[in-house]
């Protein structure tokens, strides 16, 4: 007596088959952000956080996380990354809000895109900043985190419309 259950036909977990896809250059750019209070802004920019130089550590964490993506995101295909770059920009609003904008850019030559690698790097970058500053204030807020742009692959490029955010 056999009761067959092929869950994948029912929509369960599967790493989709990309064995026939071509290897092309693929680039993805993601953004995240973390809002901090004035005390944290001052300490980061004056390098007075006890755990260390916050942005330097966060950059390393972001790059290492990009490489760990397939280990963290269950259905992600492993990819040999060819370049990862992380940059920061402070946006200080009149209303005394301090936003650190994070931009990650990931490149590979492979048969699937690197959107998840760029998004994971941006998220881990923000989480690392939270970790290093949380002794000062636990009220920091992370996000929005989103894909800004991707190029390469047969499905065409993606570019986020500016008026959406």
Site residues for a copy of itself, 58-117, by CB under 8 A, read: 59-61, 63-68, 70-94, 107-111, 115-116
To the query of whether residue 20 is one of the catalytic residues in this protein, the response is no
Q: Enumerate residues 6+ apart whose C-beta is below 8 A from 131.
A: 51
Distances (CA, A) of 84 to 30, 108, 116, 124: 11, 9, 13, 14
Cβ atoms within 10 Å of 86's Cβ, excluding its own = 21
CB of 39 to a copy of itself, least distance (A): 15
User: Among 85, 96, 131, 157, which one carries the catalytic annotation?
Assistant: 131
CB of 137 to a copy of itself, least distance (A): 10
CB 62 within 8 A of CB 105: no
Q: Rounded to an integer, what distance in angstroms lies between the CA atom of residue 98 and that of residue 120?
A: 23
Q: Which CB, 39 or 139, lies closer to a copy of itself?
A: 139
CB of 158 to a copy of itself, least distance (A): 5
Footprint (CB under 8 A) of a copy of itself, residues 130-149: 130-132, 134, 138-147
Question: Active-site residues: which are they?
Answer: 131
């Amino acid at each position: 007596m056999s009761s067959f259950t092929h869950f994948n036909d029912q929509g369960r977990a599967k790493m989709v088959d990309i064995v026939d896809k071509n290897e092309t250059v693929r680039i993805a750019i993601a953004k995240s952000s973390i809002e901090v209070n004035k005390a944290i802004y001052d300490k980061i920019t004056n390098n007075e956080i006890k755990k260390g130089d916050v942005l330097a550590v966060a950059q390393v964490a972001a790059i290492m996380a990009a490489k760990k993506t397939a280990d963290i995101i269950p259905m992600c295909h492993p990819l040999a990354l060819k370049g990862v770059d992380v940059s920061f920009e402070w946006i200080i609003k009149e209303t005394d809000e301090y936003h650190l904008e994070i931009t990650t850019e990931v490149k590979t030559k492979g048969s699937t895109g690197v959107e998840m690698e760029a998004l994971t790097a941006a998220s881990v970058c923000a989480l690392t900043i939270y970790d290093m500053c949380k002794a000062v204030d636990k009220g920091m807020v992370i996000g929005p985190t989103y894909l800004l742009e991707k190029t390469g692959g047969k499905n065409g490029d993606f570019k986020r419309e500016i008026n959406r955010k």
